[in-house]
Every structure is written in structure tokens, then in C-alpha cells.
């Protein structure tokens, strides 16, 4: 029994089949612009271009038709599905944003982030030498020092939600000081929330200035701009807000706080990903994407990976350009991997999160 699962590295696993993980294939030759090499230059932003912002208009029915094709256009099974799911694990921002969060919960979450797949399952799959980890751990500002200490010695960054999360309606000075405080405590990524009212009233200058101020306060920490897409009323607003956030210097654009009535969906994601592609074509700077909220099944995570591969290419299947904002997703991915390895589904309690 000798199976190889590859995440871009050689791995051996106990069954006969060559497994190659998503993100290692060559992009199609017709792609107009490519990222050269492994390094992604940080987006410096650009002056607000209202002509480009207002030129964005979205045909909702066309978007919904395209999004509906994604689950059926591409399916992966057996060792190929396991390979894609291992890739998905490496893209998760393992998150706890509850009112009852404690230091103990965060320490256990960090331990899970460093070893997201059960050791016995890793051995069965033959992937222990890959040292797979999640993309980041995301917590409230108060728990940033706990997470930084728990992850010391690993390469996993701590992400802090900030700027009056989740509503984003605190005074501007307070929001900026919160960003600076999280960076000072060791957060290497900052998830900021925009003022949705700026989008709903078409005040693009105010939105640009707000996001730019947060980017400046973030310093060397990478900034993810949470748009709160479920509150933005139209897909055209989602497109325009995405473009303004990128112009203002966002390193990632993110769908939701997870607290809205509607969080990440494939149609919303398609619009945001197309804006990333447009910005990349205009400037040459690659922006990351983070769908968040409601992504709980392994099957759903694969649909997002298909979207990124088809719309932006394999380079957007790495943690520096794509993340899942999720708390419950990892449990289902582990269950699917165990089914692949043993032929049996395990109970959820066999993959405890904390």
C-alpha cells in the first residue's frame, strides 16, 4: 500500500494512487497576467478613481447563473478530494469570536491550529512530514497576547478583529487606536470592518479615507477589509466597495463578520473575486480574498476552491492570497479525510476543536 498525496511537496500515504494537491497545476496559457515567483508584492493602494468605481455594475441574474454552475462544473473524488481538502486546511483562519471566549479556549484553539489533523489520521494518510497548519488564528484584541504566546515558535500568524467589530460604529479615533494596540501586542494580521453606511449612501471618498487610515495604522501587519456584504443591499455595492477598499490599500477583502444575516455566498464571492481580477489587471498587485461566515462543510469549501482556481488561477490557492474565515469547517474536513482513509465516517467528537 503506497499512496502519494502532494501539497506541492512529496507525501506518502497508505494506498496505491498518485495524489496531487490543489494548487500545484499549471495555469491555463490564456491567462493575461501572472504573478511571477512565490513573492507577492504588497498592495500600496492608489488614488481614488471614481470613474473606475462607478463603472462597476453587476448583472445579478448573470452572476447567480454563473455561481450555480460551480458545484457541477468540477468535482473531485477519492485521493484527489483528499488532496484538495488538505489544501483547504492550510487556508483556514481558525476563529473564535464568542462572548464567552477565555484564555484557555484560545490556547486550545492555537494547539489545534498547529496540529489541525489528528496525528493518527496524519499517519494513516502519510502526510505527517508536511507539518500542515492552518493559515492563522483569529481572535478578539483582548486575547491577542494569549494567542501570540501560544503560537510562539510556529509560523502561524495571529489575526485580530478590530475597528469596532462587528458593527464598525465606534468613534474613528477609538477604531484606529484599537488597530495600533493589536499590532503592538503582536497581531500580524488585522481584520477591520468598514462603515457600511458609507457604501449605502455612495460616500466613496469617506470609505476610501477610512480604509486608508486603517491601513496606515496597521503598519507592517497585513490588513483584511471586512465589507459586511450582507448589509450592502446590492451586488453593485459589493463590487464598488471591493474596488474602493483595494484602492485604499487593503491586502485582503473579506465578505463578512459572520454576524450578519447573510454571510459568504458564491454569488457575492464571484463578484468580489472578479473585482480582485480587475484590480490585478489594472495595477499588477494581487489582493487576497477571505470568505467568512457560514462555511461549515467540506463540500462547500471545495466550491470556493473551484471558484478561486477558475477565476484567478492556482496562485490564489495559497494562504497569502486566500483564507477561509471559519470555526466549524475543520471538523467536517477531518471527518471527510477519515472517511477517505478508513471508509467510515467518525463522530464529530473525534475531532475536538477546543
Residues 246-262 have pLDDT tens digits of: 999 999 999 999 988 89
Give me the pLDDT at residue 21, please.
Answer: 47
Give me the pLDDT at residue 35, please.
Answer: 76
Nearest to 317 by CA among 308, 330, 307, 326: 308
- Residue 92 grid coordinates: 483556514
Q: Is 191 a catalytic residue?
A: yes
Tell me the CATH number for domain 42-76+91-107+133-330: 3.20.20.70
**Euclidean distance between CA atoms 184 and 304, whole angstroms:** 33
Of residues 329 and 19, which shows the higher confidence score? Answer: 329
222-226/252-254 β-pairing: parallel
Average pLDDT, the chain: 90
Query: Which residue of the set 112, 290, 314, 332 is catalytic?
Result: 290
Average pLDDT value for residue range 142-165: 97
Q: Residue for cell digits 487610515?
A: 213
Average pLDDT value for residue range 276-288: 97
Rounded alpha-carbon distances, angstroms, from residue 302 to 31, 88, 94, 235, 272: 22, 8, 17, 23, 18
At 23, the pLDDT band (50, 70, 90 cuts) reads low
- Residue 153 grid coordinates: 515558535
At 354, the pLDDT band (50, 70, 90 cuts) reads low
**DSSP, res 292:** B
CA terminus-to-terminus distance, the chain: 34
My answer on whether omega of the bond before 273 falls inside 30° of 0, hence cis, is: no
Q: Is 78 a catalytic residue?
A: no
Average pLDDT value for residue range 93-109: 95
Q: Is 290 a catalytic residue?
A: yes
At 158, the pLDDT band (50, 70, 90 cuts) reads very high
What b-and-e string marks burial along 13-43, b requiring 16 or more CB atoms within 10 Å of the CB?
Answer: bebeeebbbbbeeeeeeeeeeebeeeebeeb
Query: Which residue of the set 254, 309, 314, 332 is catalytic?
Result: 254
Q: Is 120 exposed, middle or buried (CB count within 10 Å of its CB: 0-12, 13-18, 19+)?
A: exposed
Nearest to 19 by CA among 107, 113, 127: 127
Q: What is the pLDDT of residues 214-246, one digit of tens each?
A: 999 999 999 999 999 999 999 999 999 999 999
Q: Residue for cell digits 463590487?
A: 239
Residue 51 has pLDDT above 70, yes or no: yes
Query: Which residue of the set 191, 231, 314, 332 is catalytic?
Result: 191
Residue 329 has pLDDT above 50, yes or no: yes
Nearest to 233 by CA among 193, 205, 268, 207: 268
> Which residues make beta-bridge pairs with 226?
193, 254
Average pLDDT value for residue range 140-150: 97
Amino acid at each position: 500500500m503506497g499512496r502519494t498525496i502532494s501539497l506541492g511537496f512529496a507525501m506518502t500515504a497508505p494506498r496505491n494512487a498518485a495524489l496531487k494537491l490543489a494548487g500545484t497545476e499549471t495555469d491555463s496559457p490564456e491567462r493575461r497576467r501572472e504573478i511571477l515567483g512565490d513573492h507577492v508584492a504588497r498592495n500600496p493602494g492608489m488614488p481614488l478613481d471614481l470613474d473606475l468605481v462607478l463603472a462597476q455594475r453587476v448583472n445579478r441574474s448573470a452572476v447567480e447563473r454563473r455561481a450555480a454552475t460551480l458545484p457541477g462544473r468540477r468535482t473531485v473524488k477519492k485521493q484527489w478530494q483528499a488532496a484538495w481538502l488538505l489544501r483547504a486546511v492550510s487556508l483556514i483562519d481558525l476563529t473564535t469570536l464568542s462572548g464567552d471566549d477565555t484564555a484557555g479556549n484560545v490556547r486550545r484553539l492555537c494547539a489545534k491550529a498547529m496540529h489541525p489533523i489528528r496525528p493518527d489520521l496524519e499517519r494513516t494518510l502519510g502526510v505527517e512530514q508536511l507539518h500542515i497548519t492552518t493559515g492563522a488564528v483569529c481572535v478578539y484584541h483582548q486575547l491577542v497576547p494569549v494567542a501570540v504566546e501560544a503560537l510562539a515558535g510556529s509560523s502561524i500568524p495571529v489575526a485580530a478583529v478590530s475597528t469596532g467589530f462587528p458593527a464598525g460604529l465606534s468613534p474613528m479615533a477609538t477604531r484606529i487606536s484599537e488597530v495600533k494596540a493589536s499590532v503592538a501586542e503582536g497581531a500580524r494580521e488585522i481584520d477591520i470592518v468598514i462603515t457600511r453606511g458609507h457604501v449605502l449612501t455612495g460616500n466613496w471618498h469617506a470609505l476610501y479615507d477610512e480604509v486608508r487610515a486603517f491601513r496606515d495604522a496597521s503598519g507592517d501587519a497585513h490588513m483584511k477589509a471586512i465589507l459586511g456584504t450582507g448589509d450592502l443591499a446590492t451586488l453593485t455595492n459589493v463590487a464598488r466597495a471591493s474596488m474602493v477598499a483595494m484602492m485604499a490599500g487593503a491586502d485582503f477583502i473579506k465578505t463578512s463578520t459572520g454576524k450578519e444575516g447573510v454571510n459568504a455566498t458564491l454569488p457575492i464571492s464571484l463578484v468580489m473575486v472578479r473585482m480582485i481580477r480587475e484590480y490585478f489587471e489594472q495595477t499588477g498587485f494581487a489582493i487576497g480574498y477571505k470568505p467568512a461566515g457560514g462555511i461549515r462543510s467540506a463540500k462547500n469549501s471545495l466550491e470556493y476552491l473551484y471558484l478561486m482556481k477558475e477565476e484567478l488561477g492556482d496562485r490564489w490557492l495559497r494562504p497569502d492570497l486566500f483564507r477561509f474565515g471559519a470555526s466549524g469547517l475543520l471538523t467536517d474536513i477531518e471527518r471527510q479525510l477519515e472517511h477517505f482513509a478508513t471508509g467510515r465516517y467518525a463522530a464529530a467528537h473525534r475531532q475536538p476543536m477546543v
